[in-house]
Amino acid sequence: MDTTKSHSFKQQKVLSSILVNGILILICLIWIIPTVGVLVTSFRDSQDIFTTGWWTVFPHRTYVITGTIKLPKGTDANGPMSIPGIKGQYTFDQLRAGVKTSDGRQLIWYGNKRTLQINEQKLQWVGFDTKLTLKNYSDVLNNANVNYTDANGNNVSRQGDNLLGSFLNSIAVAVPATIIPILIAAFAAYGFAWLNFPGRKLLFTIVVALLVVPLQIALVPIVQDYTKLDLNGTYLGIWLAHTGFGLPLAVYLLFNYISGLPRDILESAFIDGASNFTIFTQLILPLSVPALASFAIFQFLWVWNDYLVALVFLGDKTLVLTVTLANMVGEKGQDWQLLTAGAFISMMLPLAVFFALQRYFVRGLMAGSVKG
């Protein structure tokens, strides 16, 4: 009896494990398919994108043209027609929608009424689509004119996009807009944690209060200031803006970390006659690397993916990736070969950073979630 019980227990365990993994695999598929769709589409030929769904690059069963039937000249396409080798008579509309024969073939009219051509199709397995191309990427990267054929076979010409330039701009914005707030916040966190000065508690309380202030509150006055100072569209302007909006969280996180460092290390350094500046640069910064890294990834992803701040302070003067991509959605909403390639270019770097440094990122998130 004991053995049967443990046996059924084991069975139940296997069953529940299958169930849990099954549900998770399903959820994960739903989660990843949208991105896979964009990735696959970005490598497809433009005309294929418009005529078939991206999922058709995977092996599937579909009607494949196996031959053509030419109707005799003089056939009246407006009335019912008889087709050589096929029983019965069919109208143009029927043939246009596709007629299935008894032996599993499908007849489908090709083009308009005047062609008098019918394609013969058979249901067959189709393997992986090998007609993949990198053209879409080169089209969006180098600002050249883009020519492609749309679903109706028309040639379309478009002004290309300079995503390479936007990519460089994004780097020029994101790297300093990550390091500057960290540097300023680390100094401030040290000041709040280890130095005494009047108003220290009140000032830090204000920092905590600022954690949840929506940045919309600042946009109207800051745009005014930037217009006066001629800072609109400059790197300095957007670095400072990102620094301002990122500082409350940065100071708060780094304060929590730095104030938790063991007191005696600092005191012995003081006794040795080190100045605050030396202690900070030689001792505190190296000790705080984990916290600095967590916030750095957090801030980098935030700045890289930011749209609103870049739109307001950089506009069309200095285009970053998100703004260029959003403009593309507006101007070329149907040019999926360009949009998908563009979207993927904008995602590459953050995804790489994210997967390489996921551990730090998660740690930063956990610490940051206190901000409510």
Name the minimum Å distance from CB 220 to another protein: 5
261 lines the binding site for another protein (CB under 8 A)? no
Site residues for another protein, 277-336, by CB under 8 A, read 277, 280, 301, 304-308, 312, 321-322, 325-326, 329, 333, 336
Nearer to another protein, 103 or 289 (CB): 289
Alpha helix (H) ranges present in the chain? 2-42, 46-51, 92-97, 135-141, 163-194, 200-210, 216-229, 235-258, 263-271, 276-278, 285-287, 289-305, 308-313, 321-331, 336-356, 358-368
Name the minimum Å distance from CB 104 to another protein: 20
Distance (Å, rounded) from C-alpha 25 to C-alpha 352? Answer: 23
Name the minimum Å distance from CB 43 to another protein: 14
15 lines the binding site for another protein (CB under 8 A)? no
Site residues for another protein, 104-143, by CB under 8 A, read none
Name the minimum Å distance from CB 156 to another protein: 16
Site residues for another protein, 197-256, by CB under 8 A, read 197, 200-201, 203-223, 225, 234-236, 239-241, 243-245, 247-248, 251
Question: Would you give the DSSP letter of residue 114?
Answer: G
- Which stretch in 82-90, 128-136, 142-150, 166-174 sits in contact with another protein by CB under 8 A? 166-174
Name the minimum Å distance from CB 27 to another protein: 6
Name the minimum Å distance from CB 308 to another protein: 5
**Is residue 327 within 8 Å of residue 310, measured between CB atoms?**
no
| DSSP secondary structure of 26-90 | HHHHHHHHHHHHHHHHHTB-HHHHHHS-GGGGS-EEEEEEEEEEEPPTT--TTS-EE-TTS-SEE
What string marks each residue from 18 to 57 as x (binds another protein by CB under 8 A) or -?
--xx-xx--xx--xxxxx-xx--x-------xxxxxxx--
Rounded to the nearest 10 degrees, the angle between the axes of helix 321-331 and helix 336-356 is: 160
96 lines the binding site for another protein (CB under 8 A)? yes
31's tokens: 């989660």
